[in-house]
Structure 1
Amino acid sequence: MKVAVIGCTHAGTAAIAQTAKRYPEAQITVYERNDNISFLSCGIALYVSGVVQDAQGLFYSSPEKMAEMGVTTRMRHDVLDINVEQKTLRARNLETQELVEDTFDKLIVTTGSWPIVPKFPGIELDNIMLCKNYNHSNMIIEKAKEAKNIVVIGAGYIGIELVEAFEESGKNVTLIDMSDRIMSKYLDEEFTAPVEQSFKERGVKLALGETVNRFEGVDGQVAKVVTNAGEYEADLVILCIGFKPSTELFRGQLEMLDNGAIIVDEYMRTSHPDVFAAGDSCAVKYNPTGEAAYIPLATNAVRMGTIAACNLVEPRIRSLGTQGTSGIKIYEHHIATTGMTEQAALDAGMNVKVSTINENYRPEFMPTYELITLKIVYEADTGRIVGAQLSSKVDLTAAINTVSVCIQKGMTVHELAVVDFFFQPHFNKPWNFLNSVALQTL
């Protein structure tokens, strides 16, 4: 069995490892256009800030490790075209410009995603950078050494983490986003407002609810970002606007969402029976709604890559979908979320209610204790949990994984109220905070 894998970051690395393990007779060939694999882009801000000193720690595989598994890894090879019906592909060696032709029995598409780059006037100026891969991170670190005024465009997780990193390194930082709140896709206002306040207290300029019109430069280098509401000096601009699937090779050959995300079934099979897809290149079942959605997360990618490999020969392991569970730490704020926010549910036309608590997470007779803010979003008619958010100055984020399981299993808020959780004063109260937030709905 000849297996071709296109792309080798999270989904690709997971798929390759499982394929090599489960089908030792398989001839596995990987095509990767970059000069490295398996880079944890979620660690870029930690690398930029200096928390991670050695970037090699952000890699968890290598071509050498692949070779030990019997895998042929063709680095710096750009796949130019694929015919999924004829099961052929053509690639260019970016080092020698040599063209390579190959065939496959099974294809795993793990081409990932690429940052969205709007065609702003002035986008070609120097020091306007993307933040996606290892090379980007090295360039950002190098450019930031001399920069005084840094503008980050995009207030999602990556943008927010970079703002913190730049501020702590003494830079003048401006954050621009079209939304009137930071992290609006992930959290409701009561969770984002405290983080915004922390930024303001540290001198970060928040240009929220503003749209970038153009970049202006001096001698070919960016000097200013102009929005519909202001102008901001900039020696360095980082674009963190979002991601789109890198699936152009398969347009017209595989079924996709409107944004280009490849549609897969629960076994990671595409519309072609011998073509599988995983990670940021494809859509995934979003359990709060039951619909296919584009949710580019590393956790989804490694899970989907593993499942795809397990099902290459016959359907064996079914995907359970995702809740889009994620977490972030900004300054003293430990935040986690799963499923839908209240605003997202309302925007989707759902009839939902919420329950929120602000209470100390453990007994007040303990030497120290901290407030936890916890919010559950649930259907008004059925009680089915569709989302949750948590924030505290101590790390209680693992609790959101429990709610993720509740959503995945279709549990109601009334069931959560009486779930069996342990009690120990070091960790919680007799009624665990997950019980408490649900008890309010009875």
Structure 2
Amino acid sequence: MKVIIIGSTHAGTATIKSILKQHSEVEVDVYERNDNVSFLSCGIALTVQGEVKEIKDLFYSSPEILKDLGANIHMNHEVTAVDNVKKTVTVTNLATGKTSVQHYDKLVAATGSWPIIPGIPGIEDNRIVLSKNYTHAQELINYANDDRINRVIIVGGGYIGTELVEAFNVKGKEVTLIDNQPTVLNRYFDEAFTKNVHELFLSHGVTVETDKTVQRFESQDDAVVVQTNDGSFAADLVVMSVGFRPSTSLFSGKLKTTPNGALIVNDYMQTSDPDIFAAGDSVAVHYNPTGENAYIPLATNAVRQGTLIGYNLMAPKIKYMGTQSTSGLKLYDLTMASSGLTAAHARELGMDVDSLTMTDNFRPEFMSSTEPVLMSITWDRKTQRILGVQLQSKYDIAQSANAASIAIQNRMTITDLAFVDMLFQPWFDRPLNYLNILAQAALDKANGQ
């Protein structure tokens, strides 16, 4: 059997390893249009600010490693067409320009995503850059270390945008964050949490401009001027970070997709063509809090999905469990983590939910030190099923989001989380873990107490 894999970032690399581990007899051909594999773009901001010393450390695999596993790796090769009736792909060698047609028995679409580039007038200025791949990372690092670059504007206040704000701020740049939403991190955290981030940025000298839409860019000799619906801002460098869209044009009209073009897969990572599997940023995830498909491009989703393809290549064996979009973020000394829906997003979707936000210390006050934890829980009003949890503290609460993820995955109620067994040791928590305390407060609210 011959398997062709298109792309070798997180989903592609995981798929290669999993297939060759489960099915050593399978011939695996990989076509990657870049000259590298497995780049961790989540580490770009960390490298820009100097936390990660060597950019090469953001690679966790290589073409040589994958070749040693038994894969046929074709770097600098771009797949330009897919014929899922004849089961062929058309490939161009970018080094030589030579084109060939290759047959497959099974195909894996790991084509990833690309940053959204809005059609804003003036965006062609070469001082307006992206943050996605290895090339972008190298450029951003050079800009961060360039004394001629002083004023940096980040457009987009999601995870990547806010991390880059901190990175350039730490490097001594004058940073402005522009976002068209009412708050930064709008889709990930409710207002009590985002207000703290806003104030944190201000305390470090960052200018935060929310509720502002970029209307055009004006190129001047000594600056790029960002014109918004409410004021203009000059910069030496602008980083666009307004989201991603799936790279699935190869399959347009051939496979079922969501409205934004993300490939729809079943529980075994098969697309609407059972001989074509898909994983990673090109795929719509099964989002457990809503029970619907959603577009959530995360490396964690990509690795899990790619690994599952190896198990399910010959026959359905292990179901895709879906995702809660569990994620974490550290800005300066503040740790934030979430799993599932925010209350605001749930209500936007028309869901009948309730929520509770509270603060409690992570461990007893009799200890030499402790830290408050701001936490929130959202639940279905009728069933009391947990739909989302958010956490924020100077204490590292990140792993608690994983516990919340399991609770949402397993459709636990606020009563379940209120009394589930968790350890008590004064170094780590109170007699009741703060997740227990949060859920018990939610239960009191649900019961009108």
What TM-score bracket applies, with the shorter chain setting the length? over 0.9
1:245 aligns with 2:252: no
User: In the alignment, is the contact (CA less than 8 A) between 1:351 and 1:379 conserved in 2?
Assistant: yes
Match of 1:439 in 2: 440
Match of 1:201 in 2: 203
| Structure 2 letter corresponding to 1:111 | T
Match of 1:183 in 2: 185
Match of 1:20 in 2: 20
1:274 aligns with 2:275: yes
Counterparts of 1:25-424 in structure 2 under 5 Å? 25-144=25-144, 145=146, 146-219=148-221, 222-424=223-425
Question: Aligned-pair distance for 1:415?
Answer: 1.1
| Structure 2 letter corresponding to 1:341 | T
For structure 1, list consecutive stretches of 5 or more residues without a partner in the other structure: none
| Structure 1 letter corresponding to 2:104 | F
| Structure 1 letter corresponding to 2:180 | M
Q: Matches of 1:238 and 1:279 in 2, distance apart?
A: 24
Q: Matches of 1:113 and 1:32 in 2, distance apart?
A: 14
| Structure 1 letter corresponding to 2:170 | E
User: In the alignment, is the contact (CA less than 8 A) between 2:29 and 2:74 conserved in 1?
Assistant: yes
User: In the alignment, is the contact (CA less than 8 A) between 2:127 and 2:224 conserved in 1?
Assistant: no
* DSSP 3-state at the match of 1:160: helix
Match of 2:447 in 1: none
User: In the alignment, is the contact (CA less than 8 A) between 1:108 and 1:276 conserved in 2?
Assistant: yes
Q: Matches of 1:296 and 1:141 in 2, distance apart?
A: 24
Question: Aligned-pair distance for 1:198?
Answer: 1.1
User: In the alignment, is the contact (CA less than 8 A) between 1:109 and 1:281 conserved in 2?
Assistant: yes
* DSSP 3-state at the match of 2:89: strand
User: In the alignment, is the contact (CA less than 8 A) between 1:79 and 1:92 conserved in 2?
Assistant: yes
| Structure 2 letter corresponding to 1:134 | Y
Question: Aligned-pair distance for 1:143?
Answer: 2.7
User: In the alignment, is the contact (CA less than 8 A) between 2:88 and 2:102 conserved in 1?
Assistant: yes
RMSD (Å), alpha carbons = 0.9
| Structure 2 letter corresponding to 1:209 | D
TM-score, normalized by length of structure 2?
Answer: 0.97
Question: Aligned-pair distance for 1:222?
Answer: 5.0
User: In the alignment, is the contact (CA less than 8 A) between 1:215 and 1:222 conserved in 2?
Assistant: no
Q: Any idea what the Cα deviations from partners look like across 1:142-165, whole Å, max 9, x if unmatched?
A: 233131111100000000000001
| Structure 2 letter corresponding to 1:431 | L
Q: Matches of 1:245 and 1:80 in 2, distance apart?
A: 16
Q: Any idea what the Cα deviations from partners look like across 1:22-51, whole Å, max 9, x if unmatched?
A: 111111010111111100000000011111
* DSSP 3-state at the match of 1:404: helix
| Structure 1 letter corresponding to 2:139 | M
Question: Aligned-pair distance for 1:100?
Answer: 2.3
Q: How many correspondences in the alignment?
A: 441
| Structure 2 letter corresponding to 1:133 | N
Q: Matches of 1:415 and 1:22 in 2, distance apart?
A: 37
Q: Any idea what the Cα deviations from partners look like across 1:282-302, whole Å, max 9, x if unmatched?
A: 101100010011110000000
TM-score, normalized by length of structure 1?
Answer: 0.98
User: In the alignment, is the contact (CA less than 8 A) between 1:92 and 1:100 conserved in 2?
Assistant: yes
| Structure 2 letter corresponding to 1:140 | L
Question: Aligned-pair distance for 1:310?
Answer: 1.1
Q: Matches of 1:261 and 1:201 in 2, distance apart?
A: 39
| Structure 2 letter corresponding to 1:230 | G
User: In the alignment, is the contact (CA less than 8 A) between 1:10 and 1:301 conserved in 2?
Assistant: yes
Q: Matches of 1:179 and 1:45 in 2, distance apart?
A: 22
Question: Aligned-pair distance for 1:78?
Answer: 1.1
* DSSP 3-state at the match of 2:431: coil
User: In the alignment, is the contact (CA less than 8 A) between 1:326 and 1:336 conserved in 2?
Assistant: yes
User: In the alignment, is the contact (CA less than 8 A) between 1:6 and 1:111 conserved in 2?
Assistant: yes
* DSSP 3-state at the match of 1:155: coil
User: In the alignment, is the contact (CA less than 8 A) between 1:125 and 1:222 conserved in 2?
Assistant: no
Question: Aligned-pair distance for 1:276?
Answer: 0.3
User: In the alignment, is the contact (CA less than 8 A) between 1:9 and 1:37 conserved in 2?
Assistant: yes
Q: Matches of 1:53 and 1:301 in 2, distance apart?
A: 26
Q: Matches of 1:222 and 1:90 in 2, distance apart?
A: 43
* DSSP 3-state at the match of 1:43: helix
| Structure 2 letter corresponding to 1:98 | K
| Structure 2 letter corresponding to 1:217 | S
User: Which segments of structure 1 move beyond 3 Å, counting only runs of 4 or more?
Assistant: none
Q: Any idea what the Cα deviations from partners look like across 1:27-80, whole Å, max 9, x if unmatched?
A: 101011111110000000001111111111110111000110111111111111
| Structure 2 letter corresponding to 1:79 | V
User: In the alignment, is the contact (CA less than 8 A) between 2:378 and 2:387 conserved in 1?
Assistant: yes
* DSSP 3-state at the match of 1:80: strand
Q: Matches of 1:209 and 1:108 in 2, distance apart?
A: 40
Question: Aligned-pair distance for 1:357?
Answer: 2.4
Question: Aligned-pair distance for 1:422?
Answer: 1.1
* DSSP 3-state at the match of 1:398: helix
* DSSP 3-state at the match of 1:206: strand
Percent pairwise identity: 49
Q: Matches of 1:293 and 1:224 in 2, distance apart?
A: 35
* DSSP 3-state at the match of 1:179: coil
